[in-house]
Amino acid sequence: MKLTHISSDGRARMVDVSAKPVSRRRAVATGKIRLQHKTLDLISKDQIAKGNVFATARIAGIQAAKQTARLIPLCHTLPLGEIKIDIVTSHEGAEVRCTAQTVAQTGVEMEALVGVTVALLTIYDMCKAVDKEMQIDGVRLIKKTKTALTR
């Protein structure tokens, strides 16, 4: 999907979506962070010095998704109906999933990707004092849908 056009003067600009119909849009992004077993144990016991890691990561991801248009220069500002951050642990670390929903003329893929990325970065930041081997990977969009509104 092409998000920018190069105008005759060579400058990038936002895509004009004003003629597109408003529809219900949903995007889901995911990513993983590898954590040592001792780090997962400290998180589960709420013993990380900076506080509750997963609660903070959820709030950070939601906040970041709401700020996407301010972070990514050519993104449209969207009225977000829902941002949800889910975190599931495994023996290797944690998987973060961000679901973004709106009713608008353009999609919410960037909001979902920004939300998952900032949630992962928050986990990293909060655990960096105890885990020097953390690794973030696999950040990607896994689903997007567009549903016409019925009248």
CATH number for position 42: 3.30.70.640
Is residue 4 scored above 60 in pLDDT? no
**In the structure, how many helices (H) and strands (E) does the chain have?**
4, 6
pLDDT digit string, tens, across residues 30-45? 999 999 999 999 999 9
The rounded mean pLDDT for the chain is: 93
Looking at the annotation, which residues are catalytic?
Answer: 125
Residue 1 belongs to some domain of the structure: no
**Distances in whole angstroms, Cα of residue 69 to Cα of each of 23, 43, 66, 75, 112:** 19, 32, 8, 5, 12
The range of the structural domain enclosing residue 121 comes to: 23-148
27 occurs within a structural domain: yes
- pLDDT, tens digit (0-9, with 9 covering 90-100), for 65-122: 999 999 999 999 999 999 999 999 999 999 999 999 999 988 899 999 999 999 999 9
